[in-house]
Amino acid sequence: MASETPLCPECDGEVEIPADAMENELVSCAECGMELEIMNLDPLELELAPEVEEDWGE
Ligand SMILES: [Zn+2]
């Protein structure tokens, strides 16, 4: 199984994506700590997550 390692848009560091990641899930970059949103899983696309969102309850 080939696993792609996407790069952080902030620092170009490699970002580990959990195997069970879903689109629109947030991950954080191990290099710079930025929150990143998974925009697309195939191919993997990351974007900086908005700083504050009001959807705390889930
Ligand atoms: Zn980063």
Helix (H), strand (E) at residue 26: strand 26-28
pTM metric for this prediction = 0.76
Question: 4 pLDDT exceeds 80?
Answer: no
Predicted confidence (pLDDT) per residue in 6-54, tens digit? 999 999 999 999 999 999 999 999 999 999 999 999 989 999 998 766 7
State in Å: Cα 39 to ligand 1 middle.
Answer: 16
State in Å: Cα 8 to ligand 1 middle.
Answer: 5
State in Å: Cα 40 to ligand 1 middle.
Answer: 18
Query: Tokens 């069970």 appear where?
Result: 20
State in Å: Cα 33 to ligand 1 middle.
Answer: 6
